[in-house]
Amino acid sequence: MEKNSYYSYYLPVLLFVAMLVDGHVSSAMMGMLSIPMTFTSHLVLLILMFSTFKVNQTYLMICATAIGLLYDSYFYNVLGINLILLPILVFFMYRLFEYVEPNTLTLILSFIVFVTLMSIGRAVLLSIFKLTNANFLDFFTRNLAPSLLINVLYICLLVIPLSKVYGVYKKK
């Protein structure tokens, strides 16, 4: 993997903007539809996944922790959910791409897995902290399915352009 030092200067700003866009897209989707579903946009997770090809692991873990802290304080007012989940998922991203050759299909499938893990982890932590009383059937039908729908749309539209921008297909 080629690591680019210039990208690391822009990464915190890019993650912050993606966090704000996530919130607006999620709110807009819930506002447009009158059905009780939660559409959770994961552009931050998408940027983090592609950043594994440009930034070293320690720096990306620090960025993921910082954006997790900001995300929790801005959207949840409870620290700990994204603060814990984002660095763990970044760690798994690095481990995965050590063994899996990134191509269009594996990037799409990987992102689907990471969105699923993020959503399940969030539901488990919200249940542990007693911040939700929803059961897992409600979670799968009202949160996970709509979130996967919007994020699969993101990755299908953005996988090729982002792969070119991030230089994913370059050989070592």
Render pLDDT for 140-168 as a digit per residue (tens, 0 to 9). Answer: 888 888 899 999 999 999 999 999 988 88
pLDDT in tens, 86-143: 999 999 999 999 999 999 999 999 999 999 999 999 888 888 877 777 777 888 888 8
Dihedral sign of CA atoms 52, 47, 63, 83 in order: negative
- The per-residue pLDDT of the chain, averaged, comes to 88
State the pTM of this model: 0.90
Residue 171 included in any domain: no
Residue 140 included in any domain: yes
Residue 2 included in any domain: no
Structural domain boundaries enclosing 69: 7-166
Count of the separate structural domains present in the chain:
1
Residue 1 included in any domain: no
Q: Is the pLDDT of residue 171 over 70?
A: no
Question: To 5 degrees, how large is the angle CA 166–CA 171–CA 172?
Answer: 100
Concatenated DSSP letters for 11-71? HHHHHHHHHHHHHHHHHHHHHH--SS------HHHHHHHHHTTTS-HHHHHHHHHHHHHHH
